[in-house]
Structure formats: structure tokens, C-alpha cells
């Protein structure tokens, strides 16, 4: 069986060899102004290394999702900078950012966010189509990833015909299949029952260990915290703790 790691080719030598995947410098995100000013994130300085399995935790409104959105280029910082694979993503234009997200970032959302009119296989294949990967290579990768996430036999089912856990597996497969530098998962187990959540987390943990993929979670799920190699705690938009585990 070919693994994704075996298929993987470095996007550029510098980024592939560098240990640092993400670096945030004095990252701030404020909403509103004057009396309604909300400081969602304040002066966040973080470095995430390749192969980390990191959980960003904190209470609701602490800025977890905001941090993930800024790292993923879905939102622009009020001040500060985000470097992903040594590239300043906050300075990119709309199309550059789209291409960058396509090639470097995999997203897993709390609400799965699959395209309802595409089958499981097509949802996974879509991103590779954007990357211009050949049909043969796409088919090979889809087979490999569907096996890896335990979705064999469900290729032609549409999201509405899959359970929540199966949909989130498709979302994981979609995030991983493009071989991104980092996978950002925003509360990935929040909509899943406990058993399915554990299965999914174990699967991601295995992929992280076997293929050295970098995962960053935004969560307050204890199951993720148990498995994380690093826990970054946010309170009121500030990083208050950064714990690494062996």
C-alpha cells in the first residue's frame, strides 16, 4: 500500500527542510472600535514545528478559532504577521491566498462542510483537481486516503448519505489528500459522539505519527488534549500557557 508520505514531494526545498511550519509575530485581531472594540487576539507569538500535534485550548471567546483563521489565511490580522513555510500570508492577494491555502493548508471544520452535491470520493478529489494533478494520480491518492481513513466502500455516497463521523473522516481525507504543510482543525469532534470522536482522533494521531503531518486543533475536548504533544492555552485573546509533552 502506498502511503501519502511516500507520495509526498516537497513543495520547495526551503519549506520542506525547515522545521518551523508556522510562526506568528505579535499577532493581533481586533473587532469593532471605540466602546464596541473586542480584542479577540492580542500579541500572539507562536512557533509550530513540523510534525507537531498541537491543541489550542481555552474557554469560549478566548480567541482559539480566530487564531486558527488567521493562521489559515481566512482572516487578516489587525496587526502582526503570520509566516507559513516562511511566507507572509497576511500580505498575499485574494488569488495568491487561494493558491496558498490549496497547496499548503488543510482545513477540518466543526460542521464538516463537505460539498453536498459531490460524493465522498469527489469531495476528496476536488482539491487535487484544483492543483492540476493528473486523473491517474488523483485516483491513486483517493484510494490510498480512503483506505487510511477507513472509508472504503463509501466512495460514491453523498454527504447526506453518511453519518457525522463518516463525513468528518471525508473532511479529514480532503484536508490531507493535497499533502499540505499543516492541517488546521477547528473543533473537529464537537459534533461527534464520544466513540466516533475517539476513533477519528486516533486515526489523525496515527497519520501524524506515520506521515509526520502537522496538526493544529482548536478545541476544548479533553480527548484531544490527552493526545496532543503540545497544548497552547488562550485566555481573553492572550497566550497564557504553552506546554510541550513527550
- Between CA 17 and CA 31 the distance in angstroms is 37
The cell for 126 is 476536488
Establish if 5 lies at the interface with another protein (CB under 8 A): no
Given candidates 174, 227, 229, 233, which one binds another protein under the rule CB under 8 A?
174
Shortest Å distance, C-beta 198 to another protein? 26
Give the start-end residues of each E strand in 109-237: 182-186, 215-219, 230-235
* Distance separating alpha carbons of residues 85 and 11, to the nearest angstrom: 10
**Residue 71 Cβ vs another protein, minimum distance, rounded to whole Å:** 13
Q: How many CA atoms lie within 13 A of 117 on its CB side?
A: 0
Name the 3-class secondary structure at 134: coil
Closest C-alpha to 178, from 143, 131, 211, 112: 131
The region of 1-9, 30-38, 77-85, 105-113 touching another protein under the rule CB under 8 A is 105-113
* Position 198 contacts another protein (CB under 8 A): no
Query: Does 102 sit near another protein (CB under 8 A)?
Result: yes
Find the shortest distance in angstroms from Cβ 103 to another protein.
7
Q: Which is nearer to another protein, 75 or 155 (CB)?
A: 75
Using rule CB under 8 A, residue 94 touches another protein: yes
Number of neighbours of residue 32 by Cβ within 10 angstroms: 10
- 129: which 3 cell numbers? 483537481
- How many helices, marked H, and strands, marked E, lie in the chain? 9, 10
Contact 56, 19 (CB under 8 A): no
Residue pair 225/231 in contact (Cβ under 8 Å)? The answer is yes
Compose the 50-69 pattern: x for residues touching another protein by CB under 8 A, - for all others.
Answer: -------------------x
Contact yes or no for 10/103 (Cβ under 8 A) = no
Which lies closer to another protein via its Cβ, residue 18 or residue 113?
113
Specify the stretch interacting with another protein by CB under 8 A; choose among 3-11, 97-105, 146-154, 222-230.
97-105
Find the binding residues for another protein in span 108-127 (CB under 8 A).
109, 113-118, 122, 125-127
Question: What residues contact residue 160 under an 8 Å CB cut-off, 6+ apart?
Answer: 116
- x/- track of binding to another protein for residues 127-166 (CB under 8 A): x-xxx-----------------------------------
Compare residues 90 and 126 and give the one whose CB is closer to another protein: 126
Residue from 178, 189, 214, 218 binding another protein (CB under 8 A): 178
Neighbours of 153 (CB within 10 A): 8
The footprint of another protein (CB under 8 A) covers 69, 72, 74-75, 94-95, 98-99, 101-103, 107, 109, 113-118, 122, 125-127, 129-131, 174, 178
Amino acid at each position: 500500500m502506498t502511503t501519502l508520505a511516500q507520495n509526498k514531494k516537497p513543495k520547495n526545498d526551503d519549506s520542506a527542510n525547515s522545521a518551523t511550519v508556522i510562526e506568528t509575530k505579535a499577532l493581533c485581531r481586533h473587532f469593532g472600535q471605540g466602546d464596541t472594540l473586542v480584542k479577540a487576539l492580542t500579541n500572539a507569538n507562536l512557533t509550530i514545528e513540523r510534525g507537531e500535534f498541537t491543541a489550542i485550548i481555552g474557554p469560549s471567546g478566548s480567541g482559539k478559532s480566530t487564531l486558527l483563521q488567521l493562521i489559515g489565511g481566512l482572516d487578516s490580522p489587525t496587526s502582526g504577521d503570520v509566516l507559513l513555510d516562511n511566507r507572509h500570508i497576511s500580505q498575499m492577494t485574494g488569488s495568491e491566498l487561494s493558491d496558498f491555502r490549496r497547496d499548503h493548508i488543510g482545513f477540518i471544520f466543526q460542521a464538516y462542510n463537505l460539498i453536498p452535491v459531490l460524493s465522498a470520493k469527489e469531495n476528496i478529489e476536488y482539491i487535487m483537481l484544483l492543483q492540476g494533478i493528473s486523473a491517474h494520480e488523483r485516483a491513486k491518492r483517493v484510494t490510498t486516503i480512503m483506505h487510511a481513513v477507513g472509508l472504503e466502500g463509501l466512495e460514491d455516497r453523498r454527504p447526506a448519505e453518511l453519518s457525522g463521523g463518516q463525513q468528518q473522516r471525508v473532511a479529514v481525507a480532503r484536508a490531507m489528500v493535497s499533502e499540505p504543510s499543516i492541517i488546521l482543525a477547528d473543533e473537529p469532534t464537537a459534533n461527534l459522539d464520544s466513540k466516533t470522536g475517539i476513533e477519528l482522533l486516533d486515526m489523525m494521531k496515527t497519520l501524524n505519527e506515520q506521515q509526520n503531518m502537522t496538526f493544529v486543533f482548536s478545541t476544548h475536548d479533553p480527548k484531544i488534549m490527552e493526545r496532543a504533544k503540545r497544548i497552547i492555552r488562550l485566555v481573553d485573546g492572550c497566550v497564557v500557557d504553552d506546554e510541550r509533552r513527550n
